Amino acid sequence: MDQVQRSPGADAPAGLLVRMRPPSLPADPGFGPGPEAELRELQALVTSEPAVAAERARDLQVRAEALGEPQIVAGALLCRAEASQRTGEITAAVKLIRQACAGPVALTAVNRVRASLLKAFVHNDLGDEPTALQHVMDAVLAFTDEVPRPLRVRVLNKTADLLHKLGAGEDSQLWYSRAEELAVGDPQMHLLVINNRAYAALRDARVEDARAGAQQLTAFSARYGYPLNAASLDTIARIHLLAGEPQRAAEVAQQAVEAAVQVDFRTPDAGSYYLITLAAAELALDRPQAALDALARAQQACADEGCARVKNEILKARAEVRAALGDYRAAYEMLQAFSTADRELLSHEREAQARIRQTLFETRTAREEAARYREEARRDPLTGLRNRLYVQERLGELLASGPGPIGGLSVALVDLDHFKSVNDRYSHEAGDRVLQTVAGLLEAALPPDEAGSFAARLGGEEFLLVMITPSRGRAHRIVEHVRRTVQQYDWSPVTPGRGLTLSAGVAAQHPGDTYETLLARADQQLYTAKSSGRNRISVYI
């Protein structure tokens, strides 16, 4: 069984193409004592004891509010939100996430990642995997050194799960591999990733890959000295069924049922699903009465309100057993009951989804406003180009992700020669028109087929070109084209009797580069170009 909360699925949109490179990740930070440590303990507890974690998180929230600790308050709210999501209270989860994000201060990186991950869980529960994927990618983009390793693993693992559901199997495997690489040394997280990858192979009926996953689960459990939880045991049992090994499936399914009281990543209906697996194994062994006994226990385990989906699965499984016993009338009646209940469940789920989407819609305007302000904050108001803040964020992301699919990353610092004299002689209005014109020439020079390249104004008369090109020579030619275009441009309407030139320094990405080191090399080349007579380009080799 995959270690995520079960929810109604949705077919992947036809023709969906997803190509994403897993990011390079920072090292795991150290932890200190205090309220933060208490919150981290709760964040771990919520995966196994959501109700207990929710109550303790509520208490922590009250104390943090009294002490004026907004980040602890937000973290406690998110912990309560995850507890609600895990117990199927999606509307409550949405409201708590919204409350956490609407606090008086901007969320820390850890809380941003948790909030985005929880939004992904909610949309996944709603059957909206594409939106869930968008939110989980927001979580990836929020990674910093302070985000703890287990949380990063959960995000990467969820990304892989969603990519698999959306039909991007190859990309899914890349993200599972990246999650596993980061999880090595953490038994719980490592086994989680192996389990979900094996479950993906199971869902695809890839027998050999699924068997390999089951063997990995067993091997790493022994290596770590860390027992497999019920969800992993259920996955292995289902894989044995897929491989035509019902006896082994029944043995492992029984272990899953027995381990259910200690299962990590608990959901209310998990124990019943393990019993359904056991029933399927018993039926495959031609032991229909044992299968009926298992299903009766499954029914009893979810006798309380809720768990409608697993109750329907029990009806369907009982119909199969009755058919195997030759009691076709009972089987038919159960299938009819299953069909009726399934239609009712679908209707209820649609109503619930409508209510939850309304709750989400209530914050959509605020989110759109926030997105608009975020965009404006990353644009230069005079030229419309990206500004320094955007450069710091985006260039850092590009460097962290390594070389793009096209080839190399290069930057060019561009500075207008003797620009101060334009303002002094022709007015600041003329200077602004020059800057706007140069901005347009820079953007026009970037080939539209080289996605990811952009132009920015860093301040004054200094610009930056970020170029993702097949070669360094290509980047050099782009900058040289800009230099010639500016030199040959008819500036007479703006600066009569005077032309304009620019100087530029070009540097290509080297392994280990940061935002600071790359721009420092480009700045040194710009200085060389200026000191060598201006109206020229200097390239770092």
Number of H helices, E strands in the chain: 22, 5
Residue 70: Cβ within 10 Å count: 18
Q: Does domain 382-539 have CATH number 3.40.50.300?
A: no
The CATH classification number of 244-249+256-377 equals 1.25.40
The single residue listed with the structure tokens 């990246």 is 178
Instruction: Output the pLDDT for position 124.
Output: 83
Q: Please tell me which of 122-136, 242-256, 317-331 the model is most confident about, judged by mean pLDDT.
A: 242-256
Are 145 and 27 within 8 A, CB to CB? Answer: yes
> What CA–CA distance (Å, rounded) separates 507 from 416?
18
Q: Where are the domains of the chain?
A: 244-249+256-377, 382-539
> What CA–CA distance (Å, rounded) separates 7 from 133?
16
Tokens of 416: 């207008």
Q: What is the pLDDT of residues 194-235, one digit of tens each?
A: 999 999 999 999 999 999 999 999 999 999 999 998 889 999
Q: Same fold for the domain at 244-249+256-377 and the one at 382-539?
A: no
| β partners of residue 455 | 465
Q: What is the pLDDT of residues 48-104, one digit of tens each?
A: 788 899 999 999 999 999 988 999 999 999 999 999 888 878 888 999 999 999 888
In this predicted structure, the answer to whether residue 355 has a pLDDT above a threshold of 60 is no
Instruction: Output the pLDDT for position 303.
Output: 54
Calculate the alpha carbon distances from 365 to 120, 138, 315, 441 in Å. 19, 19, 43, 35
Residue 108: Cβ within 10 Å count: 18
